[in-house]
Structure 1
Amino acid sequence: MSNEKILVVEDEKEIAQMIRDYLKASNYDVILAYDGEEALNTFYRENPDLVILDIMLPKIDGFEICRTIRTKSPVPILMLSARKEDMDKILGLGLGADDYVTKPFSPRELLARVQSQLRRYKELSTTQTPSSALVIGELEIDPSAYTVKVRGNYVPFSVKEFEILYYLASNLNQALAREKIFDHVWGFNEYGDINTVTVHVRKIREKIEEDPSNPKYIETVWGIGYKFKGGK
């Protein structure tokens, strides 16, 4: 039985092949790319279900690849790096990565992250029906298609950005603690930081708000977290 297709982008061939062998043993289809240019060409050609993406790559680095993929697709992206500073940069730039793993890592941990990302993505994109789309103000949030329209135009969202937006909008006018949002979206991630929620909310505001500094949708509830309003 053929399972989901995973693109592994890693210039260290031994690591790439180790990841491939471990994932294939769990019945995933795996494609390898060893530089950034090959990665993007392979992504467009193969349309994978998940991308495992190293940061330090020849030709085009992982940050730029992540940014490019995210403008085209909400597919889960799991980033790899040997440096903690790179993880901070991922969060700070809000590039749209859904998870990250620092090297060295255990194949078992990586597999658990992959399985969790695919499961959550599949659940959100297949268990909803078109009638479950939320229309609030000038926003249309459709979990069946995993799309967001802002003032009639489609705007690309990462998986995590979409999950946060949909969770907030589904709890209209309710103050939700950052910890609660984090648990709902990143509950499996033992290395997580609730500041990730703040970074993602900032990116969401940039996409949906006409004036992110004076938001009409996502209101900050000081000392607690955020509340989604009706956009009036």
Structure 2
Amino acid sequence: MPRVLIIEEQEKIRRLLVNMFKQEGFETCHGIVWEKAKELPKKNIYDLIIIDLYVKPIDGYEIMKSIKFFHPAAEVIAIIPQNGYDTGQMISCGIYDYVLKPFRQKDILDKGKKALEKKQLIDKVRSLEQIMDMDT
């Protein structure tokens, strides 16, 4: 079952996102604030990380790079302010996609599902490659 980490400073939005993913059947982290995010991503393995850069726009690109460094296999969706980030630079940091704030719940859920589908396909390909390597 996919594990989702939600990094969101605003409690109301964090609870909304957690509940939304739980209702869809995801094993979801309870969601964390920024202070805990600095430690947690190094210790746990997540399939999808949703990070709100709206509240912490300072060094957002570095934050995205750090998350991908500690979780290279995780897909990352960023929540960003209008005109706040260069989308090309965000993609080069390794994120899967982004949503603009304010966002519709359906948009972030749909992007999360697509990101997880991509991750599952990549994982299957890696498994098949390992099996083929063992056969040779």
| TM-score where L is the length of structure 1 | 0.50
Q: Percent identity of the aligned residues?
A: 21
Q: Is the 8 A contact 1:6 1:28 kept in 2?
A: yes
| d(CA) in 1 for partners of 2:75, 2:42 | 15
Alignment match, 2:84? 85
- Contact 1:5–1:28 (8 Å) recurs in 2: yes
What corresponds to 2:4 in structure 1?
6
- CA separation of 1:14 and 1:46: change in aligned 2, threshold 3 A: same
- 3-state DSSP of counterpart to 1:53: strand
Opposite residue 40 of structure 1, the aligned amino acid is: K
Q: Aligned partners of 2:101 and 2:38: how far apart in 1?
A: 23
C-alpha displacement at 1:64, in angstroms?
2.2
Name the counterpart of 2:36.
38
Structure 1 unmatched runs, 5+: 134-141, 143-232
Provide the residue aligned with 2:116 in structure 1: 118
1:83–1:102 Cα contact (<8 Å) kept: yes
Count of aligned positions: 128
- Give the CA deviation at 1:7: 0.4
Residue pair 1:67, 1:96 contacting (<8 A) in 2 also: yes
Q: What SS does the aligned partner of 1:84 have?
A: coil
SS at match of 2:98: strand
How far apart are the structure 1 equivalents of 2:124 and 2:84?
36
Q: Structure 2 length normalisation: TM-score?
A: 0.81
Q: Deviations over 1:123-179 (max 9, x none)?
A: 12214512698xxxxxxxx9xxxxxxxxxxxxxxxxxxxxxxxxxxxxxxxxxxxxx
AA of the residue aligned to 2:82: R
Matches within 5 A, 1:17-28: 17-28=15-26
Give CA deviations for 1:11-70 in whole Å, capped at 9, x if unaligned. 1111111111111100112221111x4113121222111100111445x75432211122
- AA aligned to 1:65 is I
- The structure with higher relative contact order (CA 8 Å, sep 6+) is 2
What one-letter code is carried by the residue in structure 2 that aligns with 1:26? E
- In structure 1, the residue corresponding to 2:65 is in which secondary structure? helix
How far is the alpha carbon of 1:111 from its aligned partner? 0.8
Instruction: Give CA-to-partner distance per residue, 1:47-106, whole Å, 9 cap, x none.
Output: 111100111445x754322111222323100000122232x2x42362111100001111
Whether the 8 Å CA contact 2:54–2:81 is kept in 1: the answer is: no
Unaligned segments of structure 2, at least 5 residues: none
Q: Which amino acid aligns with 1:4?
A: P
Q: Give the secondary-structure state (helix, strand or coil) at the position aligned to 1:85.
A: coil
